[in-house]
Amino acid sequence: MTIHKEGYRTIIIALIVFLLIITILNVISPQQTYWHYALYVLAALTFGLIVRFFRLPERKAISENSKIISGADGTVVAIEEVEENEYLHQKCLLISVFMSVHNVHVNWYPVNGTVEYFKYHPGKFLVAWHPKSSTLNERTTVVIKTPESKQVLVRQIAGFVARRVVCYAKKGTNAVQGEQMGFIKFGSRVDHFIPIDAKVHVQLNDKVVGTQSVLASL
């Protein structure tokens, strides 16, 4: 397991801040007390959690054109028929995966194909499970056209804690199932808008693993 490139800056800043706080404390109060030891432990645990958040696991992704794999680690919080009005303008099946701070926050392409559409939307930072977070929060929208000319829309949505959505997709480039599509920092959601006739293989509250769990079949 390695550290994701999006975490380098945050980890270095956190390390500098913790070392600075500890140094100032020891200058002001050089005699070691239980409060000093408590601060050391707290700083070490917090720093460890930050490093863990940016972990990048090694996985061999499922690669099959007929399968739609999960684009994120997390919990399935919605499976419903909706009208997608940003780009597809048609009824779709929506499968939403919520990522807690304990999940890996890398996002992956759920299908093979060509990036047909990409757009970044600045916005608010409502909690990721809020009904309006998909239209009001900071987010990106990526549409992939599969080799069978099916369209799959993936939306990265920032949450209350998440303050930055990173997406590597570019219009006209190839999307390779299981390869990195982006990263969302600290708690968020990924929505998968898939064809209405797809066969769903997950249920509400299922735990899914990005690149490994099959959400549906085309």
Set 29, 188, 213, 217: catalytic member? 188
In angstroms, the CA 92 to CA 71 distance is 17
Give yes or no: 100 in active site.
Answer: no
Q: Which of 67, 95, 101, 90 is nearest to 79 (CA)?
A: 95
- Rounded to 10 degrees, what is the CA torsion of 166, 163, 69, 210? 100
DSSP letters spanning 60-71: -----TTEEE-S
Active site residues: 188
